[in-house]
């Protein structure tokens, strides 16, 4: 019951994958589930002696659940490629799996780094995610983009943090936003939400910027906070442009 399988979903993560794998080297098994990367992601992963599974991407929940089903061990740690487990978090993880205190999973706070700066505002202040859990009690469910974990039992909270390097390369980050906006537009379209107006092109992106930069105090993070708010706004605009294109095509 104390052994851990770490799972890392990937698609073109060559700038992250090496450091990501090394940060979970404490795990008894590491699985990289890849959506057919076209960069050097798999080449790098193969050199680090991890288990690689290739699977066509349909949605994040299905992708992660598939990898969980292939896991050898009861405890699962899900690591996004742009996240890192610190030595302090590693120690806490190893301690709690030995004595879980009836918890079936644990919430962990993420500390976000964007453009080389630790972002403290802009909406990331209370960013917590369930990353460590028992596979027999927890499964992913939900939308294409914003998947969540359904769990049967109690969820605890770890004291240590995940380091989240959401922005290390501009092109990589924009590609990530574009991928998410494509998935979100497809999700909206599949739900029959096909009406797009100037409200979606102007008001919603502007509202997203105001939310992150002013309401969530992103301006306190300086230029990094400004860039973060602008890129979030771009992601919303891109989503509705793609939804409009899908509507026109249909």
Is 90 exceeded by the pLDDT of residue 57?
A: yes
Rg (CA), the chain: 19
Q: Which domains does the chain have, with CATH numbers?
A: 4-167 (3.90.550.10), 170-249 (no CATH)
Helix H or strand E segment including 222: helix 222-249
Per the confidence metrics, is the pTM higher than 0.75?
yes
pLDDT averaged over every residue in the chain: 95
pLDDT tens column, 66-92: 999 999 999 999 999 999 999 999 999
pLDDT tens column, 27-50: 999 999 999 999 999 999 999 999
Contacts of 142 (CB under 8 A, 6+ apart): 61, 148
* Alpha carbon distance 163, 175 (integer Å): 21
Contacts 24+ apart (CB under 8 A), 241-244: 241/201, 242/181, 242/182, 242/185, 242/186, 243/185, 243/188, 243/189, 243/193, 243/194, 243/196, 243/200, 244/196, 244/200
Please measure the distance between the N-terminal and C-terminal CA atoms of the chain and give it in whole angstroms.
51
Cβ 8 vs Cβ 24: under 8 Å: yes
Overall residue count recorded for the chain in this entry: 250
């Amino acid at each position: 019951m104390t052994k851990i399988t770490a799972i890392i979903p990937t698609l073109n993560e060559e700038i992250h994958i090496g450091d990501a794998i090394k940060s979970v080297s404490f795990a008894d098994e590491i699985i990289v589930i890849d959506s057919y990367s076209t960069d050097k992601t798999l080449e790098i992963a193969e050199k680090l002696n991890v288990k690689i599974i290739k699977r066509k991407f349909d949605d994040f929940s299905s992708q992660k659940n598939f990898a969980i089903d292939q896991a050898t061990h009861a405890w699962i740690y899900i690591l996004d490629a742009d996240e890192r487990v610190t030595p302090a978090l590693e120690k806490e993880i190893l301690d709690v799996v030995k004595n879980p205190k009836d918890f079936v999973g644990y919430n962990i706070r993420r500390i976000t780094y964007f453009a080389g700066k630790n972002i403290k505002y802009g909406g990331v202040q209370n960013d917590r995610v369930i990353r460590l859990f028992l596979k027999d009690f927890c499964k992913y469910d939900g939308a294409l983009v914003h998947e969540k974990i359904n769990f049967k039992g109690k969820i605890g909270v770890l004291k240590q943090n995940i380091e989240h390097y959401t922005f290390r390369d501009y092109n990589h980050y924009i590609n990530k936003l574009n991928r998410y906006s494509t998935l979100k537009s497809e999700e909206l379209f599949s739900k029959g939400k096909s009406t797009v107006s100037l409200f979606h092109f102007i008001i919603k992106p502007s509202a997203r910027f105001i939310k992150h930069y002013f309401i969530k105090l992103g301006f306190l993070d300086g230029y990094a906070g400004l860039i973060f708010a602008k890129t979030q706004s771009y992601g919303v605009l891109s989503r509705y442009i793609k939804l409009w294109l899908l509507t026109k095509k249909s």
